[in-house]
C-alpha cells in the first residue's frame, strides 16, 4: 500500500500535466481550455477533501508527531511529514506570540 504512494501521486497529477501541455500548444483552443478547467476543478476538490488531514496532523502533540515521522511504515511520506512538521513548529511559535493577553500586557508596562 505505502510503496505505491509515489507512483499514485504522479498518476493523479498526470491529467493536469497533459491538459496544460495541450492548452499551451494552442491557447485559443476552447476544448483544451475547458479540459484544463475541469482538471483543475477536480484537483481542487481532492485538495479540499484532504485538507482536514493536514490540519489534524498539525494539531497532534509534538511527541506523537515525532513518532509518526520516525515510523518506517511512513518513510515514503517523509517529505510530506517534514513539511507538516515545519507548519506545526510555525503554528506553535505563532501561538506562543499570542499568549500575551491584553491584561498581561498591561501588567508588563
Dihedrals phi, psi of 32, to nearest 5 degrees: -65, -40
CA–CA dist 36, 23 (Å, integer): 7
Instruction: Write out pLDDT tens, residues 43-58.
Output: 888 888 888 888 888 8
- Extract the residue ranges of the chain whose pLDDT is less than 70: 1-10, 99-109
- Return the residue matching grid coordinates 511529514: 81
pLDDT reported for residue 49: 83
Which domains are assigned to the chain? 5-98 (1.20.140.70)
Would the pTM count as exceeding 0.85? no
Radius of gyration of the chain (CA): 21
Amino acid at each position: 500500500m505505502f510503496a505505491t504512494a509515489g507512483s499514485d501521486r504522479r498518476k493523479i497529477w498526470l491529467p493536469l500535466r497533459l491538459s496544460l501541455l495541450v492548452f499551451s500548444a494552442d491557447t485559443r483552443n476552447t476544448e483544451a481550455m475547458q479540459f484544463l478547467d475541469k482538471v483543475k476543478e477536480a484537483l481542487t476538490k481532492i485538495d479540499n477533501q484532504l485538507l482536514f488531514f493536514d490540519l489534524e496532523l498539525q494539531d497532534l502533540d509534538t511527541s506523537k508527531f515525532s513518532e509518526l515521522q520516525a515510523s518506517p511504515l511512513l518513510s515514503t511520506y517523509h517529505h510530506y511529514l517534514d513539511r507538516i512538521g515545519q507548519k506545526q513548529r510555525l503554528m506553535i511559535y505563532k501561538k506562543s506570540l499570542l499568549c500575551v493577553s491584553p491584561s498581561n500586557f498591561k501588567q508588563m508596562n
